[in-house]
Amino acid sequence: MSEAENHVVIAGAGHAGGSAAALLRQMGWTGAITLIGEEPLPPYQRPPLSKAWLKGEADADSLLLRPAAFYAGAAIDLRCGTRVTGIDRAARRVSLSDGATLPYTHLVLALGARPRRIPLAGSTLAGVLELRSAADADELKAALGPGKRLAVIGGGYIGLEAAASARALGAEATVIERESRVLARVACPMLSHFFEAHHRTRGVEILVDAQVESLVGAHGHVIGVRLADGRQVHADAVLVGVGAVANEELAREAGLPCDNGILVDGTARTEDPAIFAIGDCTRRPLPLYGDRLWRLESVPNALEQAKQAAAAICGKPAPSPEVPWFWSDQYDLRLQIVGIPFDAAEIVLRGDMTLDSFALFHLADDGTVLAVEAVNAAQEFMGGRRIVAKRKRLNPAQIRDMSLTMQQLAA
C-alpha cells in the first residue's frame, strides 16, 4: 500500500497540466493535488505569445489561465520553478529538482514540448531566439519595433504569426523556409500560397527553398543569416521556429513506452495504469482516423486529454472523442482547421479565395470529409466540425455550390 492517500501529482503546469488540476476539482476529486511547473508563472495561455501578447495588446493577468489565487483556493498545491526529475514507479514516488520527493496514487505527465534546435554555426549568439514561453516572447518583443529587422527561420504557424506581429510593430520581417512553401507540414499548397501572398502584400519577405548555412554575428550578437546559395539576410534578431520536440525523457527513463511522444490510450493512460500523459508530450490514438497514433500540438488536444485523464482518475465515464482542431490569426485572417487530411484524394474549394473568405474541403476517395481548412469562414469551420465528426460524405459539386448553406451540407 502506498503511503499516499489519493494524491494526484501533475508534472508540468502548462495548458494541459493546469487544466487537469482544475478539471479534477470540477469532477469532484477531494484528494490532494500537487501541480509542479518549471516556469515561474502559474499556468498561462501560449497562443497569444505570438499574437496579442507579442503586439502588446494583452496584459499579464489576461495571459493566465486562471487567477494566481485560484490554486490555493481550490486546494491545489502549485509549485512553480520546480520540475519532476525522476519517477520511481515501483514505489510510486517522484523526485523533484528541489530535492524533495512526493508519493502519488496518480501521476499525470504534462511535460509539453520544446522548440526543435538545429545545429547551426552561430546559434549561441545573442539575439538568436525561440518562442515557447512568456519569457521567450518578452525577449522577442524587446527585439522588435520600428526599423528593426527580424529574420524567421521556419515558415510554420509560429514563424508566420511572429512575422505578422513584427510587421504590426513596425519591424521588417523575412521568413526563411527550407521547403518549397510555407506551412508545408500543416496545410495544403493552395493555402500555403494564399498565406505567402498575404504576407508579401504586408511587406514580409518570404524565401522558400532556402537552406540556412549559418548565423552571422558581430561582437557576440547576431547580425544576419547566411544561406547556402550565398545570400545573406540582415537581421537584428533571428527567431528559430522549426517545430517542437516532445518532452518524453522523464517517461522514457521510467521505462514507459515512447515513440516521438509518450504513448497513451484514448483515456490518456500510459502503459502504467497509475500514470497518465496529456498534451504536447503525448502520441495518442485518433478515433476518427482508425486510431492512428499522432502527436497533436494544440490547446484543444491538451484540454481534451486533460478531461480524459481527470475523468479516468475520478472514475467518471470517458468523455466522448472530440474532432481535432487548430487555429491561427495573422493580420485580419482567421484560419480555423478542423480534422486532419490523412490520405486525402481531393481538395475542393468553397468560396472565393480573392475575397479572403473561403474553405478547402479535403475528401477521401470515397467522399468522406477528412478535414476543412477555413479562412474567415466561421460557418464552414463550424459546419465542417459537424461533418468531419459524422464522417459524412459529400460530393465536390455540393461543396462548391454556395446556394447550399452549410446547415444543409451538414444535415
Partner 1 sequence: MPTVTYIEYDGTEHRIEVPVGKTVMQGAVDNNVPGIDADCGGECACATCHVYVDAAWLDKTGLPAPGSQEASMLSFAAVTQPDSRLSCQITVTPDLDGLVVRMPEGQH
Footprint of partner 1 (CB under 8 A): 22, 25-27, 45, 47-48, 65-67, 70, 74, 299-300, 303, 320, 322-323, 325, 327, 329, 334, 336, 378-379, 382-383, 385-386, 406-407, 410
Whose Cβ is closer to partner 1: residue 121's or residue 411's?
411
Q: Could you report how far apart the first and last alpha carbons of the chain are, in Å?
A: 53
Q: Cβ 242 to partner 1, closest distance in Å?
A: 25
Q: Cβ 30 to partner 1, closest distance in Å?
A: 14
Q: Cβ 97 to partner 1, closest distance in Å?
A: 28
23 contacts: CB under 8 Å, gap ≥ 6:
306, 307, 310
Whose Cβ is closer to partner 1: residue 23's or residue 151's?
23
Rounded Cα gap, residues 14 and 219, in angstroms: 36
Whose Cβ is closer to partner 1: residue 80's or residue 382's?
382
φ, ψ (nearest 5 deg) of residue 260: 55, 60
172 contacts: CB under 8 Å, gap ≥ 6:
147, 148, 149, 150, 166, 203, 205
Q: Cβ 169 to partner 1, closest distance in Å?
A: 20
Whose Cβ is closer to partner 1: residue 132's or residue 181's?
132
- Whether the CB-CB separation of 307 and 279 falls below 8 Å is answered with no
Rounded Cα gap, residues 299 and 306, in angstroms: 10
- Whether the CB-CB separation of 1 and 98 falls below 8 Å is answered with no
- Whether the CB-CB separation of 368 and 391 falls below 8 Å is answered with yes
Whose Cβ is closer to partner 1: residue 121's or residue 378's?
378
C-alpha cell of 97?
A: 529538482
Q: Cβ 184 to partner 1, closest distance in Å?
A: 24
Q: Cβ 254 to partner 1, closest distance in Å?
A: 30
CB atoms inside a 10 Å sphere around CB 55: 17
Q: Cβ 77 to partner 1, closest distance in Å?
A: 16
Q: Cβ 186 to partner 1, closest distance in Å?
A: 17
Whose Cβ is closer to partner 1: residue 71's or residue 104's?
71
Rounded Cα gap, residues 297 and 113, in angstroms: 8
Q: Cβ 195 to partner 1, closest distance in Å?
A: 17
Rounded Cα gap, residues 411 and 398, in angstroms: 13
Whose Cβ is closer to partner 1: residue 25's or residue 148's?
25
Q: Cβ 103 to partner 1, closest distance in Å?
A: 26
Residue 392, helix vs strand vs coil: coil
- Whether the CB-CB separation of 206 and 183 falls below 8 Å is answered with no
Instruction: Print burial letters for 106-144: b (CB count within 10 Å at least 16), e (below 16).
Output: bbbbbbbbebeeeebebbebebbbbbbbbebbebbbebb
Angle of helix 189-201 versus helix 157-168 axis, rounded to 10 = 20
Whose Cβ is closer to partner 1: residue 274's or residue 333's?
333
Whose Cβ is closer to partner 1: residue 68's or residue 364's?
68
- Whether the CB-CB separation of 371 and 388 falls below 8 Å is answered with yes
C-alpha cell of 191?
A: 493555402
Whose Cβ is closer to partner 1: residue 266's or residue 300's?
300
Element (H, E) at 384: helix 378-389
Q: Cβ 325 to partner 1, closest distance in Å?
A: 7
Whose Cβ is closer to partner 1: residue 73's or residue 145's?
73
CB atoms inside a 10 Å sphere around CB 252: 12
